[in-house]
Amino acid sequence: MIQFLRHGFGQFDKNHLIGPSLFPHFDLLYIHEGLIELETTDRQLFQMKAGESILIYPQTHFGGKALSPSAWASIQHFDFQRSEVPHDSLPPWHDKTNQTELFQNSKDTEIEKDVNRAIELSRFEGSQSSQEIREALLFLILSQLRYAKISHSTMTAEQQALEHARAWALDDLKDSITIEKMAAKAELSPSHFRACFKKHYDESAGRFLLRNRIYRARELLRETRMPIKQISQETGYANVIPFHQAFHKHTGQTPAQYRKEYALKG
Show the domain range for 170. Answer: 157-262
Compute the mean pLDDT over every residue in the chain, rounded to the nearest whole number: 82
Q: Are residues 149 and 166 in the same domain?
A: no
Residue at a domain's end among 101, 133, 153: 153
Rounded to the nearest 5°, which phi and psi values hold at 240? Answer: -70, -25
Q: Are residues 234 and 248 in the same domain?
A: yes
Write the CATH number for 168.
1.10.10.60
Q: Is the pLDDT of residue 29 over 60?
A: yes
Q: Residues 43-61: pLDDT tens digits?
A: 557 778 888 888 888 888 8
Q: Are residues 54 and 123 in the same domain?
A: yes
Rounded to the nearest 5°, which phi and psi values hold at 32? Answer: -90, -35
Q: Is the pLDDT of residue 266 over 50?
A: no
Q: Which of 196, 126, 127, 145 is CA-nearest to residue 30?
A: 145
Q: Are residues 43 and 144 in the same domain?
A: yes
- Counting Cα atoms < 13 Å in the Cβ hemisphere of 10 gives 11
Contacts of 38 (CB under 8 A, 6+ apart): 18, 29, 45, 46, 47, 48, 54, 62, 63, 64
Q: Are residues 149 and 179 in the same domain?
A: no
Counted domains in the chain: 2
Residue at a domain's end among 135, 153, 171: 153
Q: Are residues 30 and 136 in the same domain?
A: yes
pLDDT level of residue 245 (50, 70, 90 thresholds):
very high
Q: Is the pLDDT of residue 85 over 60?
A: no
For the chain, helix, strand, coil in percent to 5 are 45, 20, 30
Put simply, whether the predicted model's pTM sits higher than 0.85 gets the answer no
Per-residue pLDDT at 63: 86
Q: Are residues 117 and 174 in the same domain?
A: no
Q: Residues 141-195: pLDDT tens digits?
A: 888 887 777 666 666 788 888 888 988 888 888 888 899 999 999 999 999 999 9
Q: Are residues 76 and 142 in the same domain?
A: yes
Q: Residues 186-239: pLDDT tens digits?
A: 999 999 999 999 888 778 999 889 988 998 898 899 888 999 999 999 999 989
